[in-house]
Amino acid sequence: MAKKENPDWFIYLDADERFDEDFKREYPKLLEQKDYDAICLELYDFYLTPEDYDLPYNGDIVSMRNYCGPEYRNTLIMFRNIPKIYYPCGVVGEPRPFIKSRVLYSKYKVKHYGKAISVEEWERKVDFYIKRYTGHKDKWQQRKGKAVHHDTSDFGAKLITWGQLKANPSLRGELLYEYNPGVPTLSKYSVWLVLVMLRQIWRKIWKGFK
């Protein structure tokens, strides 16, 4: 579809992410600007709490979850359709593309509900990360059985409401991750895969000499 339509911009948003209202109003202006080729937004994790974890799903996750952590990640959300985009193999925890170009780190926000869908989904997520990202295995094992957060986030900060965060920007917490357009991090699997490929190439070359 992207090849057929050939759009000027792409918006990269996961199914468990929602734009803040400020961004919804302002993003047309961002599309018109000429200074940047990629735009990062601040992404905040929402959590299940004792007051809402057992609410039946009503089709609107935003209305069901009230508390988030103050920590955030600078996450790539918008980027131009330009040749400078590339998708490195095996980037740990970050399937988004890398862009060797001008990046705007904006103050617009994204709500992430991946940790706030349900207790069952939380446990599936934990098991997935334990199996898939062995470098963070211990961290995720400690989170098993802890889907419901009473007072603090996964990173030990006091939970706040979205309204509190918007009304008082000083509540913004630690920067957990900053999108780096030029330095992707390869996983152990990717390194292993490259070594296997090099070994196969060397064997073919060696056979050619015999």
**Predicted local confidence at residue 81, as pLDDT:** 87
Comparing 43 with 192, the larger pLDDT belongs to: 43
Q: Residue 14 and residue 33: Cα distance in Å, rounded?
A: 24
Per-residue pLDDT tens digits for 51-70: 999 998 888 999 999 999 99
| Whole-number percent of the chain with pLDDT over 70 | 81
Q: Above 90 in pLDDT, residue 22?
A: yes
**Predicted local confidence at residue 187, as pLDDT:** 47
Sequence ranges of the domains in the chain = 2-119+147-209
Strands 103-112 and 38-45: parallel
Per-residue pLDDT tens digits for 146-175: 999 999 999 999 999 999 999 999 999 999
Helix (H) or strand (E) holding 9, with range, is strand 9-11
Per-residue pLDDT tens digits for 178-200: 877 665 444 444 555 556 567 77
What is the amino acid identity at position 73? R
Residue with tokens 């098993």: 144
Q: Above 80 in pLDDT, residue 88?
A: no
Paired tokens of 146: 């802890």
